[in-house]
Amino acid sequence: MITAGELGSAVWRRSSYSSGDGGECVEVAVGLPGAVPVRDSKDPQGPALVFRGEAWAAFVAEVKAGGFHRAG
C-alpha cells in the first residue's frame, strides 16, 4: 500500500498525452515499485488513483495502440 507520505514525496511527471493549454493534464508518479499513482495536475493536493504496475502498463499499451478514442 502506498502511504500519503510516499505520494507527497513522489516525483511526478506530466503525461505526453496531456494537452499543453492547461487542461486535461494527467501526472504520473515514478519510482514507486509495483505501483503507479496518477493525479490531476490542476489539483496536486487532491486525490490520486494508484494502479498496479501491470495494469498501468496494459493501459498505456492500449492507448499507444489507438484503442481509445476521444469523444467529440
In a domain, 25, yes or no: yes
Q: How many structural domains comprise the chain?
A: 1
pLDDT score recorded for residue 22: 59
At 28 the three-state DSSP class reads: strand
- Residue 56 belongs to some domain of the structure: yes
Residue span of the structural domain in which 21 resides: 4-64
CA distance 22 to 2: 28
- Residue 63 is predicted with a pLDDT of 85
Q: Which pLDDT score, from 0 to 100, does residue 20 have? A: 63
Burial class for 45, CB neighbours closer than 10 Å (0-12, 13-18, 19+): exposed
Q: Which three cell numbers stand for residue 34?
A: 509495483
Percent of the chain residues topping a pLDDT of 70: 85
Q: Is residue 29 part of a domain?
A: yes
* Residue 35 one-letter amino acid: A
Which tens digits make up the pLDDT trace of 6-36?
777 888 998 776 666 656 688 999 888 889 9
Instruction: State the cell numbers at 44.
Output: 496536486
